[in-house]
Amino acid sequence: MACNPRYDVLFEPVKIGPVTARNRFYQVPHCNGMGRGYPSSMAEMRRVKAEGGWAVVCTEEVEIHPSGDHSPWAGGRLWDDHDIPILARMCDGIHEFDSLAGIELNHAGRMSANRYSRQAPLAPSPIPVSAHDPVQARAMDKSDIRALRAWHRAAALRAKRAGFDLVYLYAGHHLSTISHFLSRRHNHRSDEYGGSLENRVRLFREVLEDTIDAVGDTCAVAVRFAVDELLGPKGITRDGEGRDVIEMLAELPDLWDVNISGWENDSATSRFKAEGFQNDYISFVKSVTTKPVVGVGRFTSPDTMVSLVRNGIVDFIGAARPSIADPFLPRKIEEGRPEEIRECIGCNVCVSGDQHFVPIRCTQNPTMGEEWRRGWHPDRIAPKVGDDSVLIVGAGPAGLEAARALGQRGYRVTIADAADRAGGRVARESRLPGLSEWGRVADHRLYTIGQMANVDLFLNSEMTAATIREFGADHAVLATGSVWVNDGRGRANPEGVAGLENAHILTPDDFMSGAEPEGPVVVFDDDHYYMGGLIAEQMRQAGHAVTLVTPANDVSSWTVDTLEQHAIQSRLMKLGVAIVTAHDLAGIGDGAATLTCVYSGQPREVACRTLIPVTMRLPRDQLAQDLRVMDTPPPFTVIGDAWAPGTIAAAVHAGHLFARDFGAPPGDGVPFRRELIELGQWPAT
């Protein structure tokens, strides 16, 4: 199929200084948990993006000097010439598909505690580092400023030798020394680098001019700048200094990459921000500069993309998360199959990989981070190796992905689910406040298997061990999911909580099925992800008095890694949910729950007529147990939450892994390639 003519504008070439992008699809710099730690994985992931049609593919932050050491985060590094080969390998892969390679050079200043290099952090003025380390950054003197300019220039020249086509100056997200000089909150200097905006922009201008002078003959020089810090008068705003900075430097760079700050705002989850929410902040930029502009907004609709270009908001469709969810998004639009796009759901599981210093993962795209180590491709999969038929019991995220991938391989697949709606936990959870976009996990797979003649889906179809055997498939897959416990078992109480059998208990499953509580309600969250906070939010919005209790020190504490913990706790507090942190659930009495402080053991009581424990899930494995005791059970495999409850991303990955491995001989040893350090020849010290 050919590209729909109304999308032709998206495939126009765009000149960026001395280079030209072949279309308007631009993968902006994004972290990935690989970088220098897993360089082969990083390079192949970026190469696949170029193959998928992204005309510009950029790195993550790349350190330029040991005094801006991001450790333990596995970002990029370009301290000296020894770092060039890793980045050159990435450039070679991107150039293989005629795409441009961009590098985001950065000195992180007070954002770096320099845990590896052990150098003193640098900042415009004396200030503690942003991490929790008991470390302060020292104020840079004029020699430090000259050194920073030299480091950035040297890194730009190394980037050019590595093969990069665009070299970034990074001034966004509160993550760079340049942005710290711009900030009135962090820059308290009284010399020519502090005070007025013109003075605070001075270092920005100098480094920009240095970079243009060093590499601007053959490389485009881009600026990444946050036009609004969402701090009101205390920070940079789009109608104030954000606009002023762009007006002052308007024609200097070859491209403006504009967004908002910090990272938690720029990459806000779909639970809190809609697609395109940044448009209002950046829409003025093209009226200020003649240079091309790229912006982001979790865009997945080609019609929205066309509108952004036609209305003069951007020249390039910037993407981080949508390019992770579907590296082939541009190709699918170009080839006339936009309905096949795996749309980003805005859950930020991708961010959690970077926060944990491991290869990025994605709920929608189970191949993300696996391109090199497992050899998985987002759009290609090995054909079937036999004529086995497969029965999948359960149409949740694991079962649907297994069916989709097995069907793509050419196997005959039947899916049976007892419910009247496909999707499993996704179908239920996507009805919770703010999670509607999570329904895309099921929608994409249901659409795809709906186009496959070799895959059948049957709902309202309860399966037993006997009916599985009677069905006669060559292999059965049990993707039957999990259930929330009602006895309080979890991390804090591995044996459960005594006395709950006499209390009015609703599990999250009961809640999602529409069961009504009697108020007041206590939500005991020992899961620490999104479920406890969402239930408390919905119960409060329904008018109930709600207390959220957690043994952790923060509400929904794991969501720090998805950049939304602050937003969750803020929303609950504004709604009037009572929050009790660092307390365990000890029992339920007459109209009250007894809690104990996890530090002192001191007891306290809170009013409670309904308890909703959000603690742990058990695999729904009765079917597997029944098959195991059969005299001659058919071959079967348990996958997803039915095997080990986890995230939706883990369930999708489990389904994909089964489909990839089906029919292959059993592996031996580590099931994927690893990055092993080779000892090189270094100059004697």
Question: Residue written as tokens 């710290």?
Answer: 180
SS3 of residue 212 by DSSP: helix
What is the per-residue pLDDT for 640? 98
Point out the catalytic residue in the list 165, 210, 228, 266: 266
Mean pLDDT of 475-503: 94
Angle in degrees, CA 560, 566, 571, rounded to 5: 135
505, pLDDT greater than 90: yes
- Spell out the residues 6+ positions from residue 602 whose beta carbon is closer than 8 angstroms to its own: 596
Point out the catalytic residue in the list 30, 107, 152, 173: 173
Q: Decide: 177 and 202 in contact? Cβ < 8 Å.
A: no
Mean pLDDT of 27-31: 96
Kindly state the DSSP code that residue 257 receives in the 8-state scheme. E
In this structure, which amino acid lies at residue 316?
Answer: F
Mean pLDDT of 595-603: 97
Q: Give CA–CA dist 91/421, Å, rounded.
A: 46
Mean pLDDT of 638-663: 98
Point out the catalytic residue in the list 38, 170, 411, 530: 170
Mean pLDDT of 153-171: 97
| pLDDT tens-digit map of 378-390 | 999 999 999 999 9
Q: Give CA–CA dist 77/36, Å, rounded.
A: 6
Closest to 339 in 3D by CA, of 453, 446, 458: 446
- Neighbouring CB atoms inside 10 A of 239's CB total 11
| pLDDT tens-digit map of 204-233 | 999 999 999 999 999 999 999 999 999 998
Q: Give CA–CA dist 660/408, Å, rounded.
A: 10
Closest to 261 in 3D by CA, of 227, 296, 222, 223: 227
Residue 344 annotated in active site? no
In this structure, which amino acid lies at residue 199?
Answer: N
499, pLDDT greater than 70: yes
Q: Which domains does the chain have, with CATH numbers?
A: 5-355 (3.20.20.70), 389-481+620-661 (3.40.50.720), 485-617 (3.50.50.60)
SS3 of residue 409 by DSSP: helix
SS3 of residue 616 by DSSP: coil
Q: Decide: 229 and 260 in contact? Cβ < 8 Å.
A: yes
Closest to 258 in 3D by CA, of 231, 293, 286: 293
Residue 38 annotated in active site? no
- Spell out the residues 6+ positions from residue 526 whose beta carbon is closer than 8 angstroms to its own: 490, 491, 492, 493, 550, 551, 613, 614, 615, 616
* 233 CB-side CA count, 13 A: 0
Backbone angles phi, psi at 569, to 5 degrees: -65, -40
Confidence at 682, pLDDT banded by 50, 70, 90 = low
683, pLDDT greater than 70: no
SS3 of residue 403 by DSSP: helix
Task: Tell me which range, 143-152, 259-268, 348-357, is most confidently predicted by mean pLDDT.
Answer: 143-152
Q: Decide: 298 and 270 in contact? Cβ < 8 Å.
A: yes
Q: Give CA–CA dist 244/236, Å, rounded.
A: 10
Q: Decide: 359 and 373 in contact? Cβ < 8 Å.
A: yes
Strand intervals (E) in 179-237: 220-228
Residue 266 annotated in active site? yes
Kindly state the DSSP code that residue 436 receives in the 8-state scheme. G
Mean pLDDT of 552-563: 96
Q: Give CA–CA dist 286/312, Å, rounded.
A: 7
| pLDDT tens-digit map of 110-129 | 999 999 999 999 999 999 99
Q: DSSP labels for 272-292? A: T--TTTTHHHHTTGGGT-SS-
* Pairing status of strand 14-16 against strand 19-21: antiparallel
In this structure, which amino acid lies at residue 98?
Answer: D
Q: Give CA–CA dist 298/266, Å, rounded.
A: 10
Residue 326 annotated in active site? no
Q: Decide: 291 and 255 in contact? Cβ < 8 Å.
A: yes
| pLDDT tens-digit map of 308-364 | 999 999 999 999 999 999 999 999 999 999 999 999 999 999 999 988 999 999 999
The pTM for the full model equals: 0.96
In this structure, which amino acid lies at residue 589?
Answer: G
In the beta sheet, which residues pair with residue 56? 26, 100
Q: Give CA–CA dist 623/418, Å, rounded.
A: 13
Can you list the alpha helix ranges (DSSP code H) found in 371-500? 397-409, 425-429, 440-450, 465-471
Can you list the alpha helix ranges (DSSP code H) found in 608-647? 622-628
| Mean pLDDT (the chain, rounded) | 95
Q: Decide: 643 and 479 in contact? Cβ < 8 Å.
A: no
Cis status of the peptide bond prior to 338, with omega within 30 of 0: no
List for the chain the helix, strand, coil content (%; round to 5). 35, 20, 45
Point out the catalytic residue in the list 26, 30, 31, 281: 31
681, pLDDT greater than 70: no
Mean pLDDT of 393-400: 98
- Spell out the residues 6+ positions from residue 434 whose beta carbon is closer than 8 angstroms to its own: 269, 270, 271, 272, 534
